[in-house]
């Protein structure tokens, strides 16, 4: 195999199919379990709260069992790469900072996190000079502030900096 | 002609300066949303929906709000074509088929011609669909007034079974995705008895999963991950659109009237049964290639190959609002988001809307005519401007886009938890899209879950738990029968194919 490392499969289509089908089965189990606990039968006064969800769970389980079986029997020639290493790296390079950004929003507020988030991308992926990074990241955050807090009067999460400036 | 009179009244409602300004704002925002790959109609409307909460507190405000949101939708339908033709990147899933002939035309230096053809046929498709809505909607609404819970559940069943029967995704995956949507909708307080379901003690789940959060995550964040895989480099042809090119193309277009009509019919059909704009555009492209004299030249830059998918996509996107308004059953994800908006504003979509909210309904229908005219004007005049958006590098657009998604999610309930959920839904959206789990029925199920369950339980209460109520009258029996036929269609067609091979 003389494939470029970036084009190697990070994991195969088959394992992705199996993983997601198992996730659906787990979800179905959660739904069925709680519905049975609530009562999924038909009483004198009508259906119990779990009646409808119970059957949803059963259908999800049945459909996913078929998907799972088909994935397990998937012929090898159809089992292509689900995602290549290079692609996965690109996706993760956005996913991980996004998760960090969401965590920061709860702590620093949305405006400061937004500045850091955009600055990181521009500097790290875009390789822009610092003056551009700073002006775009800070500038867009101020525009966001004006749009949401001032014009549409929608309060967004704010942190220590806004409190310090007396606008939070 | 009651409809004409109502429509004229509707024009009176829609033609205020505020509403006209909102129309243009909506269309421009919509085109921007349509141009950016990753930011689509459904999540564009979802992100902006919370901004209309304040606006929609008065009846006139509700009309203005729906005009703004529906015009974003029209704009997105127009905008998808721009990137397809100039950059060979479909801005929206429904404009994939437009790239087949649109991009070759652009490479031959006929970008202006292709764009004019795309915009004009979009407009024609939408116009035909709106005319259909104008005359058919009151009839259907009137008919649906006699519906009881059993009939309504039948209609919901029909909608969801249609997804199984008509979508090109594997039927088992469609069912799993759809039922998961219903299960997500069931989380939280049981609408009938008030008991808590499926929360497993998490207080954050008391109110359940909001469909807006799901839409922003599944369509927005999920889509951006998919776009990332392609590696982002936008290389496109420059667009020049002057009046001469536009007029010359307009002279040529009437030649394709048959293709237009056929595509509009395909589009309207696919929009009303919830097939959606994307399959409609592909189907119509295929049909046009088969029936056209120049069918074998399709794919090399035929104007007709741009006309067909664009007409169908726009006709489907527009006619998807017909079942949403009359029955409360949306025909596309974006229509589902609009329906969710109506529910949040306190309007109950369905046949009663045509009696109780005449201003709202006819204002909306009139705004469809005006909005599409506004859209045509905006796109024909501003193409270079919109194409320039794609020259903004991805390292700037991507984080700003994710931020906007997170803000959209936060503003739904002012909850940080929802922002996390958007990321989670985004990751699942990425997997679902790559594994061909359809997202549209899932979103529709989240929006309609409570209503469908309520209709089901009410019907069952009438009959004291007897399923035969769904076959009792000829009307409900034929709806349910058709639904079951569609549900088992994949199996039936498999069986038929096997028989034929023998």
| pLDDT tens per residue, range B287-322 | 888 887 777 888 888 888 888 888 988 888 888 888
Asked whether the beta carbons of residue B198 and residue A53 sit closer than 8 angstroms, the reply is yes
Cβ–Cβ gap B396/A42 under 8 Å:
no
Identify whether A140 is part of a domain: yes
Residue ending a domain, choose from A62, A79, A96:
A79
Instruction: Work out the average pLDDT over B230-249.
Output: 68
- What is the Cα–Cα distance from B476 to B468, expressed in whole angstroms? 10
Q: Are strands A42-43 and A46-47 parallel, antiparallel or unpaired?
A: antiparallel
Residue in chain A lying closest to B406 (CA) = A102
Checking if the pLDDT of B265 tops 60, the result is yes
Read off the pLDDT of residues B446-488 as tens digits, 9 standing for 90 and up. 888 888 888 888 888 887 777 788 888 888 888 888 888 888 8
Residue A12 and residue A64 share a domain: yes
Considering the domain architecture, whether residues A73 and A98 belong to the same structural domain is answered as no
The nearest CA of chain B is from the CA of A152 a distance in Å of 7
Kindly list the residues from chain B whose CB atom is less than 8 angstroms away from the CB atom of residue A9. Answer: none
Chain A residue at shortest CA distance from B55: A152
Q: Write the DSSP symbol of residue B299.
A: T
- Complex ipTM more than 0.85, yes or no: yes
The partner residues of A9 in beta bridges, in order of sequence, read A84
Nearest to B180 among A24, A121, A152 (CB): A24
Q: Which of A34, A62, A79 is the last residue of a domain?
A: A79
Domain count, chain A: 2
Closest-CA distance, A75 to chain B, in angstroms, reads: 16
pLDDT band at A24; cut points 50, 70, 90: very high
Pairing of strands B196-197, B188-189: antiparallel
Same domain, A44 and A94: no
pTM: 0.83
Could you read off the pLDDT of B146-195 as tens digits, one per residue?
A: 888 888 888 888 888 888 877 778 888 989 999 999 998 888 887 777 77
In this structure, the answer to whether residues A12 and A31 fall within a common structural domain is yes
Q: How many CB pairs under 8 A join A and B?
A: 159
pLDDT at B80 over 90: no
Contacts of residue A81, Cβ cutoff 8 Å, sequence gap at least 6: A8, A9, A10, A11, A12, A13
CB contact under 8 A, B179 and A140: no
**A42/B465 Cβ within 8 A:** yes
Q: Which of the four pLDDT bands, split at 50, 70 and 90, describes residue B37?
A: low
Confidence label for B355 from pLDDT (cuts 50, 70 and 90)? confident
In a shared domain, residues A60 and A116: no
- Determine the residue of chain A that is closest to B232 in CA distance: A90
Work out the mean pLDDT of chain A and round it to a whole number: 85
Which residue of chain A comes nearest to B195, CA vs CA?
A49
Contact indicator for B25, B68 with CB cutoff of 8 Å? yes
Is A3 part of any domain?
no
Which helix (H) or strand (E) segment holds residue B480: the answer is helix B474-487
* Cβ contact A125–B410 (<8 Å): no
CA separation for the pair B138, B124 (Å, rounded): 22
A2 within some domain: no
Q: Which residue has the higher pLDDT, B220 or A31?
A: A31
State the DSSP string of B54-110: TGGGSHHHHHHHHHHHHHHHHHHHHHHHHHHHHHS--SSGGGHHHHHHHHHHHHTT-
Whole-number pLDDT of residue A22: 94
Residues of B whose CB is below 8 A from A114: 399, 403
Q: How many domains does chain B have?
A: 1
Burial of A137 (0-12, 13-18, 19+ CB in 10 A): buried
Q: Could you list the residue range(s) of the whole structural domain that residue A141 is in?
A: 85-165
pLDDT of B39 above 80: no
Supply the pLDDT for residue A68.
93
Query: From the list B197, B398, B460, which residue is nearest A94 (CB)?
Result: B398
Position B238 pLDDT exceeds 80: no
User: Beta partners for A100?
Assistant: none
* CB < 8 Å to A13, chain B: 435
Domain finish residue from A79, A109, A124: A79
**Chain A residue with minimum CA distance to B416:** A106
Residue A76, Cβ neighbours under 10 Å: how many?
A: 7
| Chain B nearest CA to A3, separation (Å) | 18
* Same domain (yes/no): A75, A13: yes
Range of the domain at B61: 2-501
Of A46, A98, A154, the CB nearest to B457: A46
Taking the C-alpha atoms of residue B153 and residue B454, their distance in angstroms, rounded to an integer, is 9
Q: What are the CA-CA distances from residue A78 to residues A6, A12, A74, A104, B154 (Å)?
A: 21, 10, 7, 42, 39
Å between B390 CA and nearest CA of chain A: 15
What does DSSP assign to residue A158? B
Is residue A67 in some structural domain? Answer: yes
What is the structure's pLDDT at A2?
A: 44
Indicate whether A54 and A111 sit together in one domain.
no
Query: Which residue has tokens 């009410």?
Result: B458
Q: What is the average per-residue pLDDT within A30-59?
A: 83
Taking only the tens place, the pLDDT of each residue in B103-134 is 888 888 788 888 888 899 999 999 999 999 98
Per-residue pLDDT band for B213 (boundaries 50, 70, 90) equals: confident
Average pLDDT over all residues of chain B: 83
Record the tokens describing residue B413, joined without a space. Answer: 């309930």
Q: What is the pLDDT of residues B382-439, one digit of tens each?
A: 877 777 777 777 778 888 888 888 888 888 888 888 899 999 999 999 999 889 898 8
* Range B361-388 average pLDDT: 86
Q: Measured between alpha carbons, how far is B102 from B274 in angstroms, rounded to an integer? A: 27
């Amino acid at each position: 195999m003389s494939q470029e490392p970036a084009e190697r499969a990070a994991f195969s289509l088959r394992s992705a199919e199996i993983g997601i089908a198992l996730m659906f089965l787990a979800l179905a189990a959660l739904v069925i379990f709680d519905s049975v606990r609530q009562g999924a039968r038909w009483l004198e006064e009508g259906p119990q709260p779990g009646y409808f969800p119970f059957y949803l769970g059963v259908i999800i389980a049945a459909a996913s069992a078929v998907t799972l079986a088909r994935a397990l029997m998937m012929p090898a020639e159809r089992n292509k790469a689900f995602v290549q290493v290079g692609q996965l790296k690109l996706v993760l390079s956005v996913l991980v900072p996004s998760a960090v950004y969401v965590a920061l929003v709860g702590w620093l507020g949305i405006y400061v996190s937004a500045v850091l988030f955009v600055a990181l991308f521009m500097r790290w992926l875009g390789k822009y000079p610092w003056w551009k990074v700073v002006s775009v990241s800070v500038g867009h955050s101020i525009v966001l502030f004006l749009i949401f807090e001032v014009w549409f009067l929608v309060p967004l999460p704010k942190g220590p900096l806004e409190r310090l400036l007396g606008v939070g | 002609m009651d409809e004409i009179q109502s429509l004229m009244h509707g024009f009176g409602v829609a033609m205020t300066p505020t509403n006209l300004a909102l129309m243009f704002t909506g269309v421009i925002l919509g085109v921007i949303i349509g141009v950016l790959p990753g930011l689509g109609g459904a999540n564009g409307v979802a992100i902006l929906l919370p901004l209309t909460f304040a606006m929609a507190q008065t009846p006139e405000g509700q009309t203005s709000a729906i005009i703004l949101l529906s015009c974003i939708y029209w704009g997105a339908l127009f905008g998808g074509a721009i990137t397809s033709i100039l950059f060979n990147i479909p801005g929206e899933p429904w404009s994939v088929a437009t790239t087949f002939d649109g991009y070759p035309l652009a490479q031959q230096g006929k970008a202006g011609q292709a764009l004019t053809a795309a915009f004009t046929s979009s407009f024609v498709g939408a116009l035909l669909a709106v005319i259909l809505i104008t005359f058919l909607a009151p009839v259907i609404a009137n008919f649906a007034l006699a519906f009881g819970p059993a009939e309504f559940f039948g209609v919901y069943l029909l909608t969801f079974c249609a997804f199984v029967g008509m979508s090109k995704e594997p039927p088992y995956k469609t069912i799993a995705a759809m039922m998961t949507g219903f299960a997500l909708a069931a989380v939280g307080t049981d609408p009938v008895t008030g008991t808590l379901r499926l929360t497993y003690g998490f207080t954050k789940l008391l109110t359940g999963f909001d469909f807006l959060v799901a839409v922003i995550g599944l369509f927005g964040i999920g889509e951006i991950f998919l776009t990332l895989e392609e590696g982002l480099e936008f290389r496109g042809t420059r667009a020049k659109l002057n009046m001469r090119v536009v007029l010359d193309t307009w002279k040529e277009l009437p030649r394709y009237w048959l293709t237009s009509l056929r595509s509009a019919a395909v589009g309207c059909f696919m929009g009303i049964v919830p097939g959606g704009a994307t399959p409609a555009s592909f189907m119509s492209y295929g049909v046009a290639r088969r029936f056209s004299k120049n069918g074998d030249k399709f794919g090399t830059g035929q104007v007709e190959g741009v006309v067909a998918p664009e007409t169908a996509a726009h006709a489907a996107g527009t006619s998807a609002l017909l079942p949403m308004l009359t029955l409360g059953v949306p025909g596309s994800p974006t229509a589902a988001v609009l329906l969710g908006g109506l529910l949040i504003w306190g309007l109950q979509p369905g046949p009663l809307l045509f009696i109780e909210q005449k201003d709202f309904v006819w204002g909306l229908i009139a705004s469809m005519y005006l909005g599409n005219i506004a859209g045509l004007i905006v796109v024909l005049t501003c193409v270079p401007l919109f194409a320039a958006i794609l020259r903004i590098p991805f390292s700037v657009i991507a984080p700003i886009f994710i931020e906007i998604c997170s803000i959209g999610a936060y503003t739904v309930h002012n909850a940080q938890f929802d922002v996390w959920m958007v990321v989670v839904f985004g990751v699942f959206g990425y997997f679902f899209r790559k594994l061909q789990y359809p997202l549209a029925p899932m979103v529709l199920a989240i929006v309609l879950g409570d209503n469908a369950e309520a209709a089901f339980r009410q019907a069952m209460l009438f009959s004291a738990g007897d399923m035969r109520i769904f076959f009792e009258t000829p009307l409900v029996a034929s709806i349910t029968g058709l639904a079951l036929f569609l549900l088992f269609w994949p199996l039936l067609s498999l069986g038929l194919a096997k028989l034929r091979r023998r």
